[in-house]
Amino acid sequence: MQIHFLGTGSAFPGAVRDNTSICFSNDVGHVLVDVSGNPCKRLKQIGVELGDLDVVIITHFHIDHIYGLPSLLWGMWLEGRTKALRIYCDERNSKRLDTWMQAMEIADWGIQFEIDIQLFKGEEKRLLFSVGDMIFSSFPAIHSVPTIGLEITFQHKCIVYSCDTEYNPFIKAYPSIDILIHEATSATEKSVNHTSMLEVVNCYSLDLIREVVLVHLSDGEDYEAVRNRMKEREKIIIAEDMLRIEL
């Protein structure tokens, strides 16, 4: 499987990064987690045709995670997509998704594909779906609005992703993680609703984690300085847009 980091920026406007959005792919299908920037362009850049995307997961309804959805659906319509698109949405955000769809006036476009909205209970751990050998589950993140993190298992490997969250004891409780993809909105400064890089490396047990990939990064933060001070620096990746990890 491949993990494509389409955007790696935080909510703060930045010069070099799109807002955080990740595509998980294998030979069977493609799953886009959050929709930012220009999703059609990014998907095409990684070789995913708009008609082939299987699932969109929305982690929460802050603008930096959802504003690309109109552009994605518009692009799919223009290209004549016919395959149903599943959108997974925490049921606590169901009304927000409805409002967002209505604001797009999508019912008036004449799209030829079904938008299959799958609601789930985001406040507890839930098995969501599988695409080939990638199995997706959600768990609650700790943020200012209802937000989920994701566990993706693949051939006995465990990937854990949490974009917007404070330090989360649920993540710490994993006996081992192959790849932890975690937000670091700041390098060292503590802020409510988010995590600093320093908190990520100090609060989680890095000896139980094979690799940490930091996303949701802000311009002007000196992540490299924190990394250079760490003895485990080899296992920390400060992600950049279009980073690709192959498992």
Interacting residues toward Zn ion by CB under 5 A = 11, 62, 64, 164
Tell the smallest beta-carbon distance from residue 63 to Zn ion (Å): 8
Buried b (16+ CB within 10 A) or exposed e, 110-141: ebeeeeebeebebeeebebbebeebebbbbbb
Taking the least distance from each CB to Zn ion, the nearer of 1 and 197 is: 197
Tell the smallest beta-carbon distance from residue 241 to Zn ion (Å): 15
The C-alpha R_g of the chain, in whole angstroms, comes to: 17
Taking the least distance from each CB to Zn ion, the nearer of 11 and 158 is: 11
Assigned token pair, 115 = 């938008």
Taking the least distance from each CB to Zn ion, the nearer of 10 and 137 is: 10
Taking the least distance from each CB to Zn ion, the nearer of 139 and 154 is: 139
Cβ neighbours, 10 Å, residue 211: 16
Tell the smallest beta-carbon distance from residue 95 to Zn ion (Å): 17
3-state secondary structure of 125: coil
Phi, psi (degrees; rounded to nearest 5) at 24: -100, 125
Tell me the residue type at 108.
D
Taking the least distance from each CB to Zn ion, the nearer of 164 and 199 is: 164
Tell the smallest beta-carbon distance from residue 172 to Zn ion (Å): 21
Taking the least distance from each CB to Zn ion, the nearer of 65 and 81 is: 65
CA dist 177 and 191 (Å) reads 25
β pairing state of 157-162 and 177-183: parallel
Structure letter (DSSP) for residue 146: -
Tell the smallest beta-carbon distance from residue 112 to Zn ion (Å): 32
Query: How is 15-60 classified by DSSP, letter by letter?
Result: SS-PBPEEEEE-SS-EEEES--S-HHHHHHHTT--GGG--EEEE--
Taking the least distance from each CB to Zn ion, the nearer of 64 and 241 is: 64
Tell the smallest beta-carbon distance from residue 163 to Zn ion (Å): 6
Tell the smallest beta-carbon distance from residue 134 to Zn ion (Å): 23
Q: Which residues lie across from 9 on neighbouring strands? A: 19, 217
First-to-last CA distance in the chain?
Answer: 5
CA dist 10 and 153 (Å) reads 26
